[in-house]
């Protein structure tokens, strides 16, 4: 789209509920920039689904679009239903790491395995932000959170690799310090048929940062930048050197048939076989 980007064009004009400096602003902005650069001009052809949590408030009711809030963790099954019944719509899920990689993890894996034609944007702030910064499956090893005052003792899940190995057509990870790459990934996900997943490691200064020992948002963003390693480089490094690092880049890019295409094909074959 040649017209200059204005975020207001895609918003209802309501005030987002996020804390100052929250990474959710960056994720919303990068997503809408990507939409704009693809030439959409509005969100009329989109439906947004989200569960519960801070990140789940990114689209609804702030985006000027149709959107659905589901119970915590259940946005992907609802999005799957929307897509199967209205295949002409772009169906996009926004959610937190707790929503999508905690309580909703099995839905994430199975949607990737089925290659459902939905786009999932997971904001990984490394805790359950909205409920007070409890440890999450994504919390880095040995981090102080509100429920691990002596540091966390479990290893975090690698959601993007899990989704890539389950069969997603597109999977990428960036941080909020990689706004340009994030926007480009949004464009790629919107243009790639099938299940597309983008994880964004994001700052939550209120519920994560201050307990984990960060003085301010700038320090968190610096940490993201300094700790990020491109996937291609990471693949040549021994696992012990990757401890505590954020591996960024694209992890899957395929063209496998989508769930809807497989269903249609099966119907054609069944009609022929049983006619
Ligand atoms: C079934 C159910 N269990 C627990 C909750 C409480 N709850 C609300 S949001 C949330 C976690 C939010 O964490 P995340 O999904 O990472 O989003 P964030 O707030 O960090 O963006 C939890 C546990 C709930 N609403 N419903
Ligand atoms: S608690 Fe954290 S994730 Fe939630 S709005 Fe505040 S800074 Fe953002
Ligand atoms: Mg979270």
How far is the centre of ligand 1, averaged over its atoms, from the C-alpha of 109 (Å)? 19
Q: Is any atom of ligand 1 closer than 6 Å to the C-beta of 98? A: yes
Mean pLDDT of 187-194: 98
Could you count the other beta carbons within 10 Å of the beta carbon of residue 224? 21
Which domains does the chain possess?
Answer: 16-274 (3.40.50.970)
In this predicted structure, the answer to whether residue 268 has a pLDDT above a threshold of 80 is: yes
Q: Which of 62, 218, 195, 219 is nearest to 122 (CA)?
A: 195
**How does pLDDT run across 44-92, given as a tens digit for each residue?**
999 999 999 999 999 999 999 999 999 999 999 999 999 999 999 999 9
Yes or no: say if 223 and 206 are a contact pair by the CB < 8 Å rule.
no
**How does pLDDT run across 90-99, given as a tens digit for each residue?**
999 999 999 9
**How does pLDDT run across 104-127, given as a tens digit for each residue?**
999 999 999 999 999 999 999 999
Yes or no: say if 242 and 234 are a contact pair by the CB < 8 Å rule.
yes
Buried b (16+ CB within 10 A) or exposed e, 114-153: bbbbbbbbbbbbbbbbbeebbbbbbbbeebbbeebeeebe
In this predicted structure, the answer to whether residue 1 has a pLDDT above a threshold of 90 is: no
**Quick one: residue 72, left, alpha or beta (phi over 0 = left, psi -120 to 50 = alpha)?**
beta
Nearest CA to ligand 2 atom 2: 204
- pLDDT at residue number 2: 73
Nearest CA to ligand 1 atom 5: 72
How far is the centre of ligand 3, averaged over its atoms, from the C-alpha of 215 (Å)? 19
């Amino acid at each position: 789209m040649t017209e200059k980007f204005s975020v207001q064009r895609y918003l209802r004009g309501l005030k987002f509920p996020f804390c100052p400096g929250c990474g959710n602003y960056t994720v919303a902005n990068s997503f809408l920039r990507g939409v704009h650069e693809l030439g959409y001009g509005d969100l009329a052809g989109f439906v947004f689904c989200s569960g519960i949590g801070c990140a789940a408030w990114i689209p609804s009711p702030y985006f000027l679009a149709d959107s659905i809030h589901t119970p915590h963790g259940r946005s992907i099954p609802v999005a799957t239903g929307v897509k199967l019944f209205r295949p002409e719509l772009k169906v996009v899920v926004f959610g937190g790491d707790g929503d999508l990689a905690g309580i909703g993890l099995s839905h994430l894996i199975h949607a990737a395995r089925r290659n459902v034609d939905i786009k999932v944007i997971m904001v990984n702030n490394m805790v359950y932000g909205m409920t007070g910064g409890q440890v999450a499956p994504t919390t880095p090893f040995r981090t102080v959170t509100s429920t691990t005052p002596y540091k966390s003792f479990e290893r975090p899940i690698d959601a993007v690799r899990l989704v890539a190995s389950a069969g997603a057509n597109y999977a990428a990870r960036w941080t909020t310090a990689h706004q340009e790459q994030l926007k480009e990934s949004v464009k790629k996900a919107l243009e790639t048929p099938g299940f597309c997943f983008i994880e964004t490691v994001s700052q939550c200064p209120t519920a994560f940062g201050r307990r984990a020992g960060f003085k301010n948002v700038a320090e968190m963003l610096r940490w993201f930048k300094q700790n990020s390693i491109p996937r291609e480089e990471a693949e040549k490094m021994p696992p012990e050197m990757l401890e505590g690092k954020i591996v960024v880049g694209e992890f899957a890019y395929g063209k496998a048939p989508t769930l809807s295409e497989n269903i249609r094909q099966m119907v054609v074959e069944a009609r022929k076989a049983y006619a």
